[in-house]
Amino acid sequence: MATALSREDVVRRSGERTPYRFGSPLRRSQRIAGFLFIAPTFVLFLGFVLWPILYTAYLSLTSWGGFGAPRFVQFDNYSRMLHDPVARRALIVTLVLTGVTTAILTFLGLVTAVLVNVIWSKVGVVVRTILFVPGIVSFVVSAVLWKLIYDPNIGTLNRLLGAIGLDSLQHPWLADHKTVLPAIVVVTVWGGLGFNMLIYFAGLQSIDPNLYEAAAMDGANTVQQFRHITVPSLRIVTGLIVSLGLLNGFKAFDVIFVMTGGGPNHGSEVLGTYLYSLAFGSTSGSIPQLGYASAFSVVTMVLCTLAVIAQLWLTRRADR
Amino acid sequence: MNRWLGKSFATFVLLPFCLLMAFPFVWMLLTSLREQNTIFNGPIIPRKITGTAYKEAWTSIQFPLHFWNSVWITSVTVIGVLVFATLSGYAFAKLDFPFRNTLFVLLLTTLMMPSTALIIPLYLELKSLGLLDSQGGLLVLYISGSAPFAMFLMRAFFQTLPDELIEAARVDGGSELTIFRRVILPLTRPGIATVVIFQFLSTWNEFLIANTVLRNTDELPLQPVLFTLMGQYSTNWPALTAGLTLSVVPVVIVYVRMQRQFVAGMMLGAVKN
């Protein structure tokens, strides 16, 4: 789970504490306590967050099957990536899925939040709960559920289409290159919408109602109010939602792994599923390619870092 | 009048949309309650309701075993994360020590690294530590992976407490640990509740790491089991959906009971700036 980094968090400087005389007992006990309090978290962080990041960056420069010593190959894995059609496809699919999903989730999140905001508040509570519940069940549950819905033979979607006489639209949704990606987008949007709606809803509630009254007095209609008050006021929230959408997209794994395993024929392969199959093998007996797979880890980390930077940038721009 | 029109319009759009969003769950329940031989050609709403699928899911996949594995793994993770995150969050918010900001920024910059990207080194690390295939290893990864984010949340809560409170306690001669336990912790119940529910949901639902580092079936929590269940029961949909339904029950209960804290916490975590 990621969260917003406010600018103060990053640029916060020491010296704003109540000053104690240097070396006084009070100050010293605080210093010791400070280190002791963060020690457990920090040790785990060094061992199981920072070290893995550095280790995978190192591995990405090697060729390694998991036995013996990794062989240093410089940037071979990265140049191999450029010539590997599956890798290229995985990168493109990751970017496209992320972009499309984020756009839809941002737009629908705002629209539903606005609607929930104007509706009777009792109904609004029910609507919010219904929209949010898909987001609290696991990706595995939603993926299995939707896989059953998409099932070509007895899946609910095809049966419903048959029942209303649209047999011609029946389709092996997850087995066709053309429909597999939209099918995944639907599942991701279904699961993520409630969260975005709720954040936008909170944002809407924090807008000063006087702004709307003043605008109405100046003769602004609903659409104008929406464009010139609502949207600008929500800029920070939008920045957050977009960057979270990007992060979630770049790290996508569970839904695709469970629903399609990256198939059909790599049609829905993303960075996460591809690196997983390279490292842990979708086919038994093949030698794990830990070095090459690690290069995809690094690409994923770079993309996620860019998403965070994008958010900081959007937040900063909105501050002005 | 205009206002009433808007409300009606919103209802008119949202209600069908809600039905659409709720449909997969409704359908999951209906499927889990129907008889196996009616999934191919029976009516969409089953005529006869039966609980045999639940019995089947319960016994044939050792549901109780995996359920308790999930409960155990989730509980230890939540408690571990809570201890680590409150201590370090408090230190970063209220204690003055050298390199505080440097260390904090270091923790922050790596907060976003997803488990998808780290799964290879984490797997290798557990392997070399001899912790592969053990719940202990999984717990170490869960706690270390979640503690920085929870720390970040708790720090935000601690920052809302007045400094004077702590200084007064210091003047009264309390040690830092006593102050933390007696004075600070009781005041941060809402923050703790937020971390608990957040952590509960994300740990209960975690799939990738559990599926990778645990291979011994008896140790597995629910999510990887549901995944294998999908392969085994590819045609027995009632049993499969019954398993899904059972796995979702605790999540829904916790969500419904703690909805307020959850929403409040999300706002704090998300719209803080």
In a domain, B228, yes or no: yes
- Does B44 contact chain A (CB < 8 Å)? yes
In a domain, B3, yes or no: no
Q: Which residue of A has its CA nearest to B40?
A: A154
pLDDT of residue A21: 47
State yes or no: pLDDT of A11 exceeds 60: no
Report the mean per-residue pLDDT for chain A.
86
The residues that bridge with A71 in the sheet, in sequence order, are: A63
Nearest to B120 among A12, A32, A59 (CB): A59
Instruction: List the single residue in B96, B108, B248 with the smallest CB-CB distance to A17.
Output: B96
* pLDDT(A6) > 70: no
Span A24-37, pLDDT tens digits: 666 788 888 889 99
What is the arithmetic mean of pLDDT over A286-298? Answer: 91
**CA-nearest residue of chain A to B7?**
A119
pLDDT tier at A140, thresholds 50, 70, 90 = very high
* Of the candidate ranges A13-22, A192-201, A240-249, the one whose mean pLDDT is the lowest: A13-22
B185, A118 Cβ separation under 8 angstroms? no
**A142 CA to centre of own chain:** 16
Domain ranges (residues) in chain A: 87-319
- Inside any domain, residue B97: yes
Q: For chain B, which residues score pLDDT lower than 50?
A: 271-273
Query: Which residues does A202 contact at the CB level (< 8 Å), separation at least 6?
Result: A237, B267, B270, B271
* Alpha-carbon span B138 to B131, nearest angstrom: 8
Q: Is residue B211 part of a domain?
A: yes
8 Å CB contact between B255 and B262: yes
Residue B119 near chain A (CB below 8 Å): yes
**Distance of CA A234 to CAs A69, A112, A166, A201, Å?**
52, 14, 42, 10
Strands A71-72 and A62-63: antiparallel
Mean pLDDT computed over A291-315 = 90
The pLDDT, as a whole number, for residue B267 is: 63
In 3D space, the residue among B262, B175, B10, B160 whose CA is nearest the CA of residue A194 turns out to be B262
Residue B5 lies in a domain: no
- Chain B residues with beta carbon closer than 8 angstroms to that of A141: 205, 226, 244, 247-248
The confidence score (pLDDT) of residue A271 equals 95
pLDDT tens digits, one per residue of B107-161: 887 777 889 999 999 999 999 999 999 999 999 999 999 998 899 889 988 988 8
Position B17 in a domain: no
Number of compact structural domains in chain B:
1
Q: What is the dihedral of CA B114, B115, B119, B123, to 10 degrees?
A: 140
Beta carbons of A280 and B226 less than 8 Å apart? no
How much is the average pLDDT of A126-153?
91
Asked if B205's CB is within 8 angstroms of A139's CB, the reply is: yes
Chain centroid to CA A32: how far? 38
Mutate one of A16, A26, A48, A107 to test the B interface: name it (highest B CB count within 10 A): A48
Distances A46 to A5, A60, A142, B30, B264 between C-alpha atoms, Å: 21, 20, 34, 48, 31
Range in A4-8, A32-36, A314-318 with the lowest mean pLDDT: A4-8
Distance between CA A86 and CA A175 in Å, rounded?
17
Neighbours of A24 (CB within 10 A): 10
Top-level class of domain A87-319: mainly alpha
pLDDT value of position A10: 42
Question: Which of A18, A30, A41 to probe the B interface (max B CBs under 10 A)?
Answer: A41
Six token digits for residue A237: 């929230």
Q: How far apart are CA B7 and CA A201, in angstroms?
A: 16
Residues of A in contact with B115 (CB under 8 A): 251
**Chain B: closest CA distance from residue A273 (Å):** 9
The amino acid present at A311, given as its one-letter code, is Q
User: Residue B96: which residues within 8 A CB-CB, separation 6 or more?
Assistant: A14, A17, A20, A27, A30, A31, A34
Q: Please give the full DSSP string across chain A, using - where no structure is assigned.
A: ------HHHHH--SS-SPPPPTT-HHHHHHHHHHHHHHHHHHHHHIIIIIHHHHHHHHHTTEE--SSSPPEE-TTHHHHHHHH-HHHHHHHHHHHHHHHHHHHHHHHHHHHHHHHHHHS-HHHHHHHHHHHHHHHHS-HHHHHHHHHHHH-TTT-HHHHHHHHTT-GGG---GGGSHHHHHHHHHHHHHHHHHHHHHHHHHHHHHTS-HHHHHHHHHTT--HHHHIIIIIHHHTHHHHHHHHHHHHHHHHT--HHHHHHTTT-STTTT--HHHHHHHHHHTSSTTSPP-HHHHHHHHHHHHHHHHHHHHHHHHHHHHHH-
pLDDT at A205: 86
Alpha-carbon distance B69 to nearest alpha carbon in chain A (angstroms): 16
Q: Is B13 part of a structural domain of the chain?
A: no
B96/A contact by beta carbon, under 8 A:
yes
The answer to whether the CB atoms of B95 and A298 lie below 8 A apart is no
* Residues in B touching A1 (Cβ below 8 Å): 149, 198, 202, 269
- Chain B residues inside the 8 Å CB shell of A10: 105, 108
| Most confident option among A150-154, A208-212, A246-250, B44-48 | A246-250
Residues 232-261 on B with a CB inside 8 Å of A are 237, 240-241, 244, 247-248, 251-252, 255, 259
How many C-alpha atoms does A299 have within 13 Å on its Cβ side?
25
Using the predicted structure, report yes or no on whether residue A208 has a pLDDT greater than 90. Answer: no
Out of A37, A195, A297, closest to residue B95 by CB: A37
Q: What is the separation of C-alpha B99 from the centre of its chain, rounded to a whole number of angstroms?
A: 32
Cross-chain CB nearest to A118 (options B10, B90, B91): B10
Quickly state the pLDDT bin for A9 (edges 50, 70, 90): very low
Judge: A290–B124 Cβ closer than 8 Å, yes or no. Answer: yes
CA distances from residue A202 to A125, A234, A246, B267 in whole angstroms, order as listed? 13, 10, 21, 7
Spatial distance between the Cα atoms of A113 and A128, rounded to a whole number of angstroms: 9
Residues facing A62 on adjacent strands: A72
Encode A99-151 in three state secondary structure.
HHHHHHHHHHHHHHHHHHHHCCHHHHHHHHHHHHHHHHCCHHHHHHHHHHHHC
Place of tokens 């597995």: B220
Q: What value of ipTM does the predicted structure carry?
A: 0.89
B160: containing domain: 63-270
**What confidence tier does A7 reach under pLDDT thresholds 50, 70, 90?**
very low
Q: Which percentage of chain A shows pLDDT scores above 90?
A: 48
Distance CA(A272)–CA(A253), nearest Å, equals 5
Token pair of B159 as six digits: 């920052």
Burial per residue of B119-138, b for 16 or more beta-carbon CB atoms within 10 angstroms, e otherwise:
bbbbbbbbeeeebbebbebb
The residue among A164 and A137 whose pLDDT is bigger is: A137
Beta bridge partners of A72: A62
pLDDT at A181: 95
Scan residues 45-74 of B and list those with Cβ closer than 8 Å to A: none
Report yes or no: A2 and B112 within 8 Å, Cβ to Cβ. yes
The per-residue pLDDT for B11 is 86
Q: Is residue B210 part of a domain?
A: yes
pLDDT above 50 (res A14): no
Per-residue model confidence as pLDDT tens digits over A72-92 = 998 999 999 999 999 999 999
Distance from CA of B29 to the nearest CA of A (A): 11
